[in-house]
Chain A
Amino acid sequence: MTSRRLFLLGSAVLLALCACKWDLWGIVTRPNVEDRVRENLSGDPPAPGPVAVKPDSFRFAVFGDPQIQHDNVNRLGKFKQEVAARSIDFFCALGDLTNDATGDEVDSIKSDLDRVGIPYYATIGNHDLFQADGWERFKQNYGPSCYSVVIAGRIKLIFLDTADGTVGPTQFDWLETELQDSAHVKIVLTHFPVYDGDKPMMWRLASDAERVKVQGLLEKYGAYAWCAGHTHGLRHMQVGAVQHFTCGAMAPDGVGLDYGNPGFLLFTFVRDSLSWQFVELN
Chain B
Amino acid sequence: MKRLLTLVVLFAATARAAVVGSAAIGYRGEPGVESEMQAVLQADITPVRFFKVDAGLSLNLFQNNGLGAAHLGLAAEVYSPAHLTLRLAGQHQQWTDWQAGENRLLVVFEAGPLYGLDAGAGLVRRVPVFGDRYSSPLVWSSDAAEWNFLYRLRWKFIQRENWWIRAGLSSYDRFTAHNPQQFPLEADGAYRLRDGLELAGLVSTAIVGYSGGLASFHDLDLSVGVRHDF
B149 CB contact (under 8 Å) in A126, A200, A209: A200
Q: Is A22 an interface residue (CB 8 A)?
A: yes
Q: How many residues of B contact A (CB 8 A)?
A: 43
A164-B208, A201-B180 known; A127 vs B130 contact (CB < 8 Å): no
A164 to B149 alpha-carbon distance, docked (Å)? 22
Q: Are B178 and A207 in contact (CB under 8 A)?
A: yes
A207-B30, A213-B33, A215-B130 known; A200 vs B147 contact (CB < 8 Å): yes
A202 to B210 alpha-carbon distance, docked (Å)? 10
For chain A residues 174-231, which have a beta carbon within 8 Å of chain B? 192, 195, 197-213, 215-217, 219-220, 230
A17 to B207 alpha-carbon distance, docked (Å)? 20
- Chain B 187-229, CB within 8 Å of chain A: the 1/0 string? 0000000000000000000101111111010110000000000
Closest partner residue, chain B, to A173 (CB atom): B32
**Shortest beta-carbon distance, B141 to chain A, in Å?**
11
- Chain B 100-130, CB within 8 Å of chain A: the 1/0 string? 1010000000000000000000010010101
Closest partner residue, chain B, to A95 (CB atom): B212
Chain A residues whose C-beta falls within 8 Å of the C-beta of B143 in the assembled complex: 195, 237-240
Q: How many residues of A contact B (CB 8 A)?
A: 50
Q: Is B62 an interface residue (CB 8 A)?
A: no
A213 to B177 alpha-carbon distance, docked (Å)? 16
A167 to B146 alpha-carbon distance, docked (Å)? 21
A167-B32, A202-B180, A208-B177 known; A126 vs B131 contact (CB < 8 Å): no
Q: Are A215 and B144 in contact (CB under 8 A)?
A: yes
Q: Are A212 and B102 in contact (CB under 8 A)?
A: yes
Q: Is B159 an interface residue (CB 8 A)?
A: no
Chain B residues whose C-beta falls within 8 Å of the C-beta of A173 in the assembled complex: 32
A37 to B141 alpha-carbon distance, docked (Å)? 36
Q: Are A219 and B34 in contact (CB under 8 A)?
A: no
A126-B214, A198-B145, A215-B100 known; A210 vs B33 contact (CB < 8 Å): yes
Q: Is B31 an interface residue (CB 8 A)?
A: yes
Q: Are A164 and B214 in contact (CB under 8 A)?
A: yes
Query: Which 7 A-B residue pairs are closest in the complex by CB-CB distance?
Result: A216-B98, A169-B32, A126-B212, A165-B209, A206-B208, A172-B32, A202-B180
Please list the residues of chain B having a beta carbon within 8 angstroms of any beta carbon in chain A. Answer: 30-34, 93, 95, 97-100, 102, 123, 126, 128, 130-131, 142-149, 176-182, 206, 208-214, 216, 218-219
Please list the residues of chain A having a beta carbon within 8 angstroms of any beta carbon in chain B. Answer: 22, 27, 30, 32, 34, 125-127, 129-130, 163-173, 192, 195, 197-213, 215-217, 219-220, 230, 237-240
